[in-house]
Amino acid sequence: MNEWKQKVLSFLSKNYGFFILAVILFWLKTYIAYQTEFNLGIENAMQQFLLLINPLSSAVFFMGLALFAKGRRSFVWIIIIDLLLTIVLFANMVYYRFFSDFITLPNIKEASSLGEQSGSIGALMNWTDALYFLDIIFLIGLLVFRVVKPNKEARIRARKTVGVLTLGVAMFFANLGLAEIDRPELLTRTFDRTYIVKYLGMTNFQLYDAVKSTQNSTQRALADSSDVNAVLNYTKSNYAAPNPEYFGKAKGKNVIYIHLESFQQFLIGYKLHGEEVTPFINSFFKDKNTFSFTNFFHQTGQGKTSDAEMMLENSLFGLPQGSAFSTKGKNTYQSAPAILGQQGYDSAVFHGNYKSFWNRDEIYKQFGYNHFFDASYYDMNEKDVSNYGLKDKPFFQESEKYIQTLKQPFYAKFITLTNHFPYPISEEEATIKPAETGDASVDSYIQTARYLDESVKSFVQYLKDSGLYENSVIVMYGDHYGISDNHAQAMSKVLGTDYDAYQNAQAQRVPFMVRVPGVEGGVKDTYGGEIDILPTLLHLLGTDTKNYVQLGNDLLSKDAKQVVPFRNGDFITPAYSMIGGKFYNQKTGEEITTETDAMKATKDNVAKELELSDEVLQGDLLRFYTPEGFKKTDPSKYNYNNKNKTISTDKDSTDGTSTETK
């Protein structure tokens, strides 16, 4: 036994022995993480095999770089590289627990926004996470306690080290070849990061993402005016003419958006402990003057709330990686505030967080917003601040004095934030008992949704008392999911049904309600998503969208196409859906095993629409096209600095900007 032990320790004391041990330990923990931390949708033996082997190529290559060092330094570098790879794995684990997605290079560039989410990140971490660093501690212990004793002068010949790196590269291409058999054109025709991780591994995905991000960053410089032609041809051919019954029915009215943070459609009418969770929003949904959509879906990607705003204001999708708000804040846009501003509308955003979050202070200028009332305008005392900023009730109450400064007609957006993961709420503020699923996030989500409902009720009462209610189009919309598919077991209890991939896709419904004074509304079963909000609103206001670059359709139009693309290339229609590459009967939820020509055509069209949207944003193509009658926005005329100033209204102002005095 001692002789065997000595042989093992002698092997580990050599550079290549320690290297092999580190690779094996990293490989095993990565595979365990794949199985326990991520939902990668393994469907067959080939995918399971690829999942097993895909950590090896990157581990061999990157740890192999340490073999160029001599003696003990080689061992130290193996541990350092192992630690860096582990940090990448661990960061993605924590990120995935809420977003059901993987970190991309633009996410890292948006670190300032992620820093604001420290409370949410803390809630996603478990004490068991430390286990993923045990191998690092073990390797360090072998060195520190001299269990392994590297020769200070020993080093592997450079030729052999190059051979190790070549082996890593060869393993990657073998991995890719097998992946292409199961998923042809893996690297060229997917919007879904899950496929890359499943087939090629976490580290290789990060490299792929870095390459794609670099390519995207050069796209603007290479774009020219001819690139916008394909986009124009597409938008004109997919244009849905306004319904004459509703076109212009809201002309000249104020527009008030109420952004319902993380609010999913299932909350509408949902009862818990014998009482409605959101009684006021339920009543608004059923109001005789409200158009309410039961098959309306969020379509956000990694940008979450900022993606929802991008679609809301521009009818363009968010980017496949990161947030366009952060990375495309200097682009040219043809946004709702600018379109309406040139028709005499004042415009403002109200939000209880600071203006730099999601780069809003820059991109709102490109959108043409006259005013931005951020946290600097509000009383951010400790009692009223939670999670992402000012709680919704004091936020709406304090906003009342600012909305009075806007000239009518105005276009205003109120962004709530209390109903945001991890859904913290005190016993004093909770007016409904939590759910009893055993999942803390899901249970308290019900309580913060009730708080949001009460906040909105008070604000709408103010609008009625002030006379704004009957002179305003009021839009309420949910920006993105509140409960991710990582809480499937709890959601099964909430919804009373099995929560599989199909059901999760259906749960991506969010509210979309448009109340137009004096116009009979009703509950609509039309299928649509956030990309469709802008053309729907503009047509109600009497502005035809046929000359604008907008990828959505007017949901009140008789020509609405009723195809809802998701950011990963999946989609939903009234007849069938594609979820995770599989087709389902939308009515029954049963899998469809035969892909029809119509399904293929829809899939190809969805991919084309997403691609064109990306080209518009990545290439900043709207700088090459200005619709007739529209003037490009001049961002230099907007100033959102508060600096302890008070707002007073200049009723005679003609450019829409605010007058601020000490």
**Active site positions, annotated:** 305
Do 106 and 323 contact (CB within 8 A), yes or no? Answer: yes
Please compute, for residue 627, the number of CA atoms within 13 A of its CA located in the half-sphere on the CB side.
21
Give the number of other CB atoms < 10 A from CB of residue 217. Answer: 13
Among 453, 569, 508, 474, residue whose Cα is nearest residue 296: 508
Among 470, 460, 472, 405, residue whose Cα is nearest residue 251: 472
- For the chain, the distance separating the N- and C-terminal CA atoms, rounded to the nearest angstrom, is 84
C-alpha distances (whole Å) from 101 to each of 39, 236, 269, 485 are 10, 33, 30, 11
Among 266, 206, 193, residue whose Cα is nearest residue 491: 266
Give exposure, 573-592, as e/b (b: 16+ Cβ within 10 Å): beebbbbbbbbbebeeeeeb
CA torsion through residues 21, 24, 27, 28, sign: negative
Using only C-alpha atoms, the chain has a radius of gyration, in whole angstroms, of 27
Q: How far apart are CA 100 and CA 103, in angstroms?
A: 10
Backbone angles phi and psi of 97, in degrees to 5:
-60, -25
Q: Which residues contact 305 (CB under 8 A, 6 or more apart)?
A: 259, 261, 358, 415, 479, 480
Largest separation between any pair of C-alpha atoms in the chain: 94
DSSP 618-658: HHTGGGG---TT-----GGG-----TT-EEE--TT-SS-PP
H helices present in 315-439, as ranges? 324-327, 336-341, 360-367, 392-403
CA torsion through residues 434, 511, 516, 628, sign: positive
Q: How far apart are CA 333 and CA 622, in angstroms?
A: 6
The pair of three-digit structure tokens given for residue 331, joined into one six-digit string: 């682009």
Do 344 and 322 contact (CB within 8 A), yes or no? Answer: no
Q: How far apart are CA 178 and CA 183, in angstroms?
A: 9
